[in-house]
Amino acid sequence: MELPALKTEVYQLAGVSNTRQLKARYQPLAALNLRLKSSWAEALEFLRANPEIKSARPKTLSELKAEVYALAQVTTPLQLKAKVAATKTLNFSQKASWEKALALLQPSPITFQDWLNQPSEEYKDLFAEIDSATTDLSKAIDKAQRLGQEAQEMAVELEKQTVEAKEEAALLRQEIEAARRIAQQAELN
């Protein structure tokens, strides 16, 4: 498909008329370089794969302002321009500038799987610690299971020895009783 046809189809699916509106309305597309045909193809694929997103209505100016202010933690355009250097050239009397500011302030959307494949350094260290702790825990569990099995075997062996000891004690009692009777008979004779 040629680039103009791709653009037309993307705009129709998205319900927008230009690239700025497209990126503002669909945050996952904001990171795409729409100067490339492959990016337009990716945008088309995204819109086809996510039909539930199509019904999203565009944000009003007041919603945009509120969201931008909340993300930047400021209350005026002047404070915003002072805090976020990339917004210094924006004209905040236009809705498009608010949309651009919102796109600048929102973190770039990455999938959870992408993040898992390449986490930041602090998370790599944390994951390494978790893996190490998991390995240590698995070893401790295996050792505990082995010791538990040995303890169970010892308990069974003790049970057997207890039964044998009781049987021997009963035999000894019988022998003692028999010896007493014999001794009593011997005294009587």
Annotated domain spans of the chain: 1-57, 59-109, 112-189
**What is the Cα–Cα distance from 44 to 50, expressed in whole angstroms?**
10
Which amino acid, residue 189? N
- Nearest-CA neighbor of 34 among 50, 47, 23, 46? 23
**pLDDT one-digit tens code per residue, 63-87:** 889 999 999 999 999 999 999 999 9
**135-150 confidence digits (pLDDT tens):** 999 999 999 999 999 9
Predicted TM-score (pTM) of this structure:
0.34
Residues counted in the chain: 189
**Per-residue tokens: 122:** 């602090």
